Amino acid sequence: MFQPVGGMDRIPFAFASRLDSVIRYGAVVTGLRQSAAGVTVTYRDDTGSSQTLAVDYCICAMPLTVARTLDADFSAQIRAILDAVEYDSAYKIAWEAPRFWEKEANIFGGISYLQKPVDLVWYPSARLFSEKGILIGGYSIEVPPSTGPLPAILAKTDLTYRSMVEQGYAFASLPGMQAKLEASRRSIEMLHPGHGKDLINPIYVSWGHIPYNLGSWINLAWNDEQLWPRCSSLTGASTSPATTPAASSVGRKAPHCRPIASSTSSAPAFNQPARIASISNSLPPHPASPHAESLCPSWSS
């Protein structure tokens, strides 16, 4: 896969360089209300004050786990999906290290797998032959014990994903971040004996704990042909974000608010959200609005 020079966050920074005048940073959306004229967005600014913004259309790219926390007049159909959907909590652990995998094992990018709580090591494909690199020592899902007993979870998990879920359960059961970092170090040591000690400056990220994500992608249990259409229907004109008959009529005539989160696609998480079709299909043709705004609480969102 081709990667932006300097890291994946170069993509939003490139958009920001062109859109800076319409981005409102530090804005945490708290409410969405639709009328025949458009959408009123309520948000909390970086001082903690409540603000409102009237717009012609709202393209809601929030994860569904965040969208369901809003004070919004979603239809009963949409609300039922928001209340039922579950997201996985993916995690990553990264280390800085000398490139021993290149010098000793002739590994230049790619992934190694193990049957351990940290079951994946991902080698960098950028800056080959440089002195140091960023080594991913763990990229999978966390399945907390609060989800339920492991046998019960595995019983309803597709065979394809059972190993991932089992290792994710073991990883999430480790007592704290330090234990998780040590598990990551052990997995790398198993693959590259003697080099666990070379790993420094670790970073651990768990998307389920990031306030503006609350998960990484739609839960594997929803990965079937019966449930995906329920999420993909969120982008359809028939799903007006209204709860009363009158508002529902307004919604059918002027569907001003459309979700385009990755979970509204049958190919979530990585590829589908990058398709411009997800935006072009979400709204009818409409003249450029002088009221266009983008609300951005943080880059992590």
Provide the mean pLDDT of the chain: 79
* Cβ count within 10 A of residue 236: 14
Instruction: Supply the DSSP string of 9-53, one letter for each residue.
Output: THHHHHHHHHHGGGEEET-EEEEEEE-SS-EEEEEE-TTS-EEEE
Fold topology of 87-209: Polyamine Oxidase; Chain A, domain 2 (3.90.660)
Percent of the chain with pLDDT over 70: 73
Can you give the pLDDT at residue 232? 54
Distances (CA, A) of 127 to 2, 5, 44, 110, 278: 13, 10, 41, 14, 33
Bigger pLDDT: 262 vs 137: 137
* Cβ count within 10 A of residue 231: 23
Give the Cα separation of 239 and 256 in Å (integer).
11
Can you give the pLDDT at residue 259? 66
| pLDDT tens column, 157-207 | 888 888 889 999 999 999 999 999 999 999 999 999 999 999 999 999 999
| pLDDT tens column, 97-151 | 999 999 999 999 999 999 999 999 999 988 899 999 999 999 999 998 888 999 9
Can you give the pLDDT at residue 100? 97
Give the Cα separation of 241 and 239 in Å (integer).
6
Bigger pLDDT: 277 vs 167: 167
Give the Cα separation of 122 and 281 in Å (integer).
35
Give the Cα separation of 145 and 154 in Å (integer).
13
Would the pLDDT of 79 be above 70?
Answer: yes
User: Which own/partner contact pairs does 124-128 have at CB distance under 8 Å and 24+ positions apart?
Assistant: 125/3, 126/3, 126/5, 128/102
Structure tokens at 18: 């062109």
Backbone angles phi and psi of 160, in degrees to 5: -60, -30
Q: Average pLDDT, stretch 63-88? A: 85
| pLDDT tens column, 231-241 | 555 554 333 33
Would the pLDDT of 250 be above 90?
Answer: no
DSSP character at residue 114: -
Can you give the pLDDT at residue 8? 81
Fold topology of 11-85+220-296: FAD/NAD(P)-binding domain (3.50.50)
Question: Does the model's pTM come out above 0.85?
Answer: no
Q: Average pLDDT, stretch 62-86? A: 85
44, burial (CB in 10 Å: exposed 0-12, middle 13-18, buried 19+): middle
Structure tokens at 171: 């990883």
Domain coordinates in residue numbering, the chain: 11-85+220-296, 87-209
Q: Average pLDDT, stretch 212-217? A: 88
Bigger pLDDT: 291 vs 209: 209
